Amino acid sequence: MKTCPSHKRMYPTEEIAEDALIEAHTRFEYGKQGGPIAVYLCSDCGHFHFTSQGSPNKKLKDHIESGKMKTQKQAYQWELKIKKRF
Ligand SMILES: [Zn+2]
């Protein structure tokens, strides 16, 4: 597989990158440090990457504002707890 000079993780489509971005926010508490907020098409490799710059991705923003992110975070936390117990 071709690699990108940026050494960032590559996503073949915008949709996959957006889903991965939401997934990342579900699993990590980025807090004030920001973390990735959007995806962009890279001109070096032709794939999509995360970026912490620019305006927030609409899907991610909708996800947070609708409260879905909170629900998913809670579900994820429960999943972790259950896995630890068994
Ligand atoms: Zn690239």
Residue 18 lies in a domain: yes
Phi and psi dihedrals of 67, rounded to 5?
Answer: 90, 0
Please give the structure tokens belonging to residue 55: 């305006």
**CA 10 to ligand 1 centroid distance, Å:** 7
**CA 55 to ligand 1 centroid distance, Å:** 19
pLDDT at 84: 82
pLDDT at 85: 74
Residue 42 lies in a domain: yes
Which residue positions in the chain have pLDDT lower than 70? 1, 33, 86
Count up the domains in the chain and report the number: 1
Residue 4 lies in a domain: no
pLDDT at 86: 65
**CA 66 to ligand 1 centroid distance, Å:** 31
Structure pTM? 0.87
Residue 5 lies in a domain: no
Residue 60 lies in a domain: yes
Domain residue limits at 41: 14-85
CA-to-CA distance for 48 and 27, rounded, in angstroms? 20
Residue 37 lies in a domain: yes
pLDDT at 38: 97
